[in-house]
């Protein structure tokens, strides 16, 4: 028998889409319309650096405009190509639909290794790339709104926002042209850690449901569960930090670009992160065994595996050796379509990327709304809320005095109850609510239909159904 071929990333997404679409009753034309990528723009531009002109290649892909603006990150990586941005743009369509963020799907990328350039050079390159996209309305507050992704952060988003403002000096909404900005440049509290926080909320919601845990062969709470994380970048670091510090999970393995650390007693996530920042990788970190072949640690026994680096890391080649009960896809597309089949047959439960890493776009949505409304969340109501709470507390204290020592309010209760919600509290509340509701929509389909084998198919069913409804409402 000929060996099974691994599909490309975009083909993998299409295969997963097709598996769900086969269970739906969509008109054939509409099915095709939703699946295909509307447009991909390729740009090549030169920047004078170190005495010569260097040419860069970038992409911005628009998958579906059933809602506008379209939304999706910009990544800086040598792996960027048309197939990849189209796959990622399609995932953005389904992701936004699943978490009810009112956007179509888009994605961009620049083929560059950011580690090879200093900050000033990166600013020149980013601004030039942004200029090329802005002048074609591929960055625009009402049409196309990027965000950070692999290799980019709030620093690049601030440059993009400033570039847009320079080219649209009278646009009062210019800050809404990109999300994931620093707080002082129109960003929102809680955006940097939003994707990792969303992964934590996704895990918490999964562990609230007895039947779901049973399907993965898990029980109890997150406390003490063994977790292996691949990629300790923005998403992986925050997910690992929150799960270990706040839920008591034990991070036993961390896989990075230069190998992996493994310690069955648990790793100190903060210490590993600090080591990476100062040494450029995990090599040499004390207190853990280091393996140069990092991918081997993907196969170590654990309760939860969190791939949070890049796509295509669990494949036909290694899927049957994976030893996790639950996989939370923090990265986009870490499991190929063939590997997905193998893992399902093994009984591994997968919380799919379009849901698991949707925390980023959810908080980006809040940031975009904040930019358009020109006011910080909580600014109008916070003190009013506090004074109403103070009224109740004062009244309880008055009764308390009358009743003697029979009961009294603890200082901790008073402190918490009296504090009105600021932007960060509201962002966390909105994100938690979004992650819970989206999970429940998926699981209802997963558990109620015999023909739906996994959460990924359920997620596609929920989101394709909504995209289809939106196209139908437009008369398509
Ligand atoms: P990042 O650049 O901050 O981090 C990526 C990390 O992976 C880095 O620490 C890098 O050293 C590491 N890495 C690179 N090659 C590796 C390899 N071969 N093995 C192991 N680790 C390797 O990127 P990020 O923003 O955290 O994004 C990670 C993934 O999450 C991507 O798939 C991205 O599309 C997805 N994602 C990101 C966001 C976001 O808000 N940043 C939102 C949704 C999805």
- pLDDT, tens digit, for every residue of 284-319? 999 899 999 999 999 999 999 999 999 999 999 999
Identify whether 389 is part of a domain. Answer: no
Ligand 1 site, residue 151, Cβ cutoff 6 A: yes
Evaluate if residue 129 carries a pLDDT over 50.
yes
The best mutation among 310, 355, 363 to test binding of ligand 1, ranked by most ligand atoms within 8 Å of the C-beta, falls on: 310
Identify whether 97 is part of a domain. Answer: no
Evaluate if residue 412 carries a pLDDT over 60.
yes
Identify whether 308 is part of a domain. Answer: yes
Identify whether 223 is part of a domain. Answer: yes
Catalytic residues: 107
For residue 1, what pLDDT is reported? 47
For residue 405, what pLDDT is reported? 61
Domain of 311, in residue numbers: 217-347
Identify whether 22 is part of a domain. Answer: no
Evaluate if residue 3 carries a pLDDT over 70.
no
Atom of ligand 1 nearest to the CA of 194: 40
Question: pLDDT tier at 404 (50, 70, 90 boundaries)?
Answer: low
For residue 28, what pLDDT is reported? 81
Ligand 1 site, residue 40, Cβ cutoff 6 A: no
Mean pLDDT of 140-147: 98
Identify whether 173 is part of a domain. Answer: no
Identify whether 242 is part of a domain. Answer: yes
Identify whether 461 is part of a domain. Answer: no
For residue 401, what pLDDT is reported? 79
Evaluate if residue 406 carries a pLDDT over 70.
no
Q: If DSSP codes are grouped into helix, strand and coil, which group holds residue 410?
A: coil
The best mutation among 234, 255, 299 to test binding of ligand 1, ranked by most ligand atoms within 8 Å of the C-beta, falls on: 234
Are 92 and 166 a contacting pair, CB within 8 Å? no
Question: pLDDT tier at 212 (50, 70, 90 boundaries)?
Answer: very high
| pTM as predicted | 0.95
Cα separation, 203 vs 244, in Å, equals 12
Omega of the bond leading into 171 within 30 degrees of 0 (cis): no
Q: If DSSP codes are grouped into helix, strand and coil, which group holds residue 107?
A: strand
Cα separation, 268 vs 170, in Å, equals 49
47: tokens are: 């920047």
For residue 103, what pLDDT is reported? 98
Number of domains present in the structure of the chain? 1
5: tokens are: 């071929």
The angle, 0 to 180 degrees and rounded to 10, between the axes of the packed helices 82-98 and 423-448 is 90
Cα separation, 210 vs 219, in Å, equals 7
CATH of the domain at 298: 3.40.50.720
Cα 11 to middle of ligand 1, angstroms: 21
Ligand 1 site, residue 148, Cβ cutoff 6 A: yes
Cβ neighbours for 126, distance < 8 A, ≥ 6 positions apart: 156, 159, 160, 163
Cα separation, 109 vs 310, in Å, equals 14
């Amino acid at each position: 028998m000929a060996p099974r071929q691994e599909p490309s990333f975009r083909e993998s997404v299409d295969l997963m889409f097709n598996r769900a679409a086969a269970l739906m009753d969509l008109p054939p034309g509409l099915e095709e319309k939703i699946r295909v990528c509307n447009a991909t723009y390729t740009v090549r531009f030169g920047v004078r650096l170190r005495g010569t002109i260097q040419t860069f290649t970038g992409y911005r892909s628009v998958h579906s405009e059933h809602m506008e603006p379209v939304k999706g990150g910009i990544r800086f990586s040598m792996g960027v190509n048309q197939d990849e941005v189209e796959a990622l743009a399609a995932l953005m369509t389904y992701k936004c639909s699943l978490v009810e963020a009112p956007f179509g799907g888009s994605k961009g990328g620049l083929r560059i290794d950011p580690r090879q350039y200093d900050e000033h050079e990166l600013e020149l390159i980013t601004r030039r790339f942004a200029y090329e996209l802005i002048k074609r309305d591929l960055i625009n507050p009402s049409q196309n709104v990027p965000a950070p992704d692999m290799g980019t952060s709030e620093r690049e988003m601030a440059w993009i926002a400033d570039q847009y403002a320079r080219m649209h000096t009278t646009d009062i909404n210019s800050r809404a042209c990109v999300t994931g900005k620093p707080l002082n440049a129109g960003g929102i509290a809680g955006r940097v850690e939003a994707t990792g926080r969303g992964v934590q909320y996704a895990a918490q919601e999964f562990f609230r449901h007895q039947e779901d845990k049973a399907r993965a062969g898990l029980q109890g709470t997150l406390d003490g569960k063994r977790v292996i994380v691949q990629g300790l970048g923005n998403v992986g670091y925050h997910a690992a930090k929150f799960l270990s510090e706040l839920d008591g999970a034990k991070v036993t393995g961390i896989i990075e670009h230069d190998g992996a650390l493994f310690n069955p007693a648990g790793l100190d996530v903060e210490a590993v992160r600090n080591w990476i920042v100062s040494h450029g990788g995990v090599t040499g970190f004390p207190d853990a065994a280091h393996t140069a072949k990092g991918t081997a640690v993907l196969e170590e026994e654990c309760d939860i595996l969190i791939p949070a680096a890049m796509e295509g890391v669990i494949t036909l080649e290694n899927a049957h050796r994976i030893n996790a009960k639950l996989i939370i896809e923090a990265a986009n597309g870490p499991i190929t379509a063939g590997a997905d089949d193998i893992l399902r047959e093994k009984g591994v439960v997968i919380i799919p990327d379009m849901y698991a890493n949707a925390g980023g776009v959810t908080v980006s949505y809040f940031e975009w709304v904040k930019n358009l409304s020109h006011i910080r969340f909580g600014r109008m109501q916070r003190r009013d809320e506090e004074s109403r709470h103070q009224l109740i507390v004062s009244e309880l204290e008055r009764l308390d005095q009358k009743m003697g020592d029979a009961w009294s309010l603890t200082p901790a209760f008073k402190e918490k109850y009296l504090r009105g919600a600021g932007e960060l509290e509201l962002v966390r509340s909105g994100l938690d609510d979004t992650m819970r509701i989206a999970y429940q929509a998926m699981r209802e389909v997963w558990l109620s239909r015999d023909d739906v084998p996994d959460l990924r198919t359920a997620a596609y069913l929920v989101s394709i159904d909504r995209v289809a409804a939106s196209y139908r409402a437009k008369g398509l």
